[in-house]
Amino acid sequence: MEFDDIRAFVAVAEARSVSRAARELHLTQPAVSRRVQRLESSLGVVLCDRRRRPFTLTAAGQAALERCRRVLHAVRDVRSATGDGLPAREIRVGVAHALTEVALTEPVDRLRRAFPRISLSLGTGWSHDLLERVRAGALDAAVILLPEGERLPAGLEATRLGRERLVVVEPRRGARGTRGAGLAALDGRGWVLNPEGCAARAMLERALHAARVRMRVAVETYTYELQLALVARHRGFGLVPARILARSPLRPRLRVRHVRGLDFPLIVWAVRRDTPADLAPVFRALDQALIERLSGRGRDPARDQ
């Protein structure tokens, strides 16, 4: 039984996908499949039900998963105990799409300097998907955005890092005295938004639907700077974090549209499941770096360019 085979099986089980596990392990899909098959052969049982979609484990696979996780944790503990006193582990952290430029720049650099033996595996996604992956054990931690007042699931450790303010933006040129107008003025107008799965888009859709205001999505794209460029070209309204608009070189061509009845308070959370004692200082350092970055006290790499 090989350690790499155990690691591959746990990655597939937690990601619920061979392709996603392959990306996380930086391997090809056939290589990951071979490792899982090799583990099955050495155990003499089938771990993954390959006939069913979506991906599921067999009963033997479910029983083996926790034991395999314990093997991985034990190996990490041995590596930590034989080092220089600093934790030596791989930490899998997910970051909400809207927070990538906040979380993946200076805070990550600070963490790597303070804990050089920590290996960070970073990925992005929608907040609710990341939350589920933390609950399932596929991620060690996530930095997410949730509507103010939404409760976090029981059994997770959570630290409130800050508040995100979303603003509706429109082209500055050609705007016709619509500041402070109500929701009715948006009826049938086009929008440039994140794809479905975005919490902010869902909040906008609910607010407009409740007011019986029709919403037309003109463009879907993940990139906020592209969204702002399309808004500046009169392709539709945008909905972006205020901090991103403030830093954008397109800011002079845009303005915030204040709409009565639209309010999007979002809270930034760091969530974890069962933090090992030796990793508590690592997560505290990451939380503090994110709090400072969100409050504007952290160094902004974009301003150094």
- Three-state DSSP at 168 gives strand
Query: CA-CA distances (angstroms) from residue 77 to 30, 73, 82?
Result: 30, 6, 9
pLDDT tier, 176 (very low <50, low <70, confident <90, very high otherwise)? low
For residues 230 and 218, give the distance between their C-alpha atoms in angstroms, rounded to a whole number. Answer: 10
Tens digits of per-residue pLDDT, 118-154? 888 888 889 999 998 888 888 889 999 998 888 888 8
Which of 95-99, 159-163, 258-262 comes out lowest in average pLDDT? 258-262
Please say whether the beta carbons of 184 and 213 come within 8 A: yes
Does the pLDDT of residue 301 top 80, yes or no?
no
Q: Which of 69, 47, 67 has the alpha carbon at shortest distance from 58?
A: 47
| Residue recorded with tokens 């600070």 | 110
More confident residue, 193 or 92: 193
Tokens 């804990």 found at: 115
pLDDT digits (tens, 9 = 90+) for 207-251: 899 999 999 999 999 889 999 999 999 999 999 988 889 989 999
**C-alpha distance from residue 44 to each of 1, 40, 61, 184 (Å):** 11, 6, 11, 65
Q: How large is the average pLDDT for residues 256-275?
A: 87
Query: ω before 54 within 30° of 0 (cis)?
Result: yes
Between 19 and 250, whose confidence is greater?
A: 250
Residue 82 confidence (pLDDT) above 70: no
Q: With 0-12 CB in 10 A as exposed, 13-18 as middle and 19+ as buried, what is 202?
A: middle
CA distance 203 to 214: 14
In this prediction, residue 169 carries a pLDDT of: 94
Tell me the CATH number for domain 163-266: 3.40.190.290
Pairing relation of β-strands 90-96 and 237-241? unpaired
* Residue the block writes with tokens 């809270």: 267
The 8-class DSSP code of residue 49 comes to: E
* CATH match for 1-82 among 1.10.10.10, 1.10.20.10, 3.40.50.12280, 3.60.15.10: 1.10.10.10
User: For residue 220, what is the enclosing H or E element?
Assistant: strand 216-220
Q: Where are the domains positioned within the chain?
A: 1-82, 163-266
Query: What is the per-residue pLDDT for 255?
Result: 93
Gyration radius of the chain over CA positions: 22
Q: Which two tokens stand for residue 157?
A: 């450790």
For the segment 85-101, what is each residue's pLDDT rounded down to a tens digit? 555 577 889 999 888 88
Residue 232 Cα distances to 11, 56, 173, 204, angstroms: 43, 46, 8, 20
Among 9-13, 71-75, 93-97, where is mean pLDDT lowest? 71-75
Give the pLDDT band of residue 303 (cuts 50, 70, 90): very low
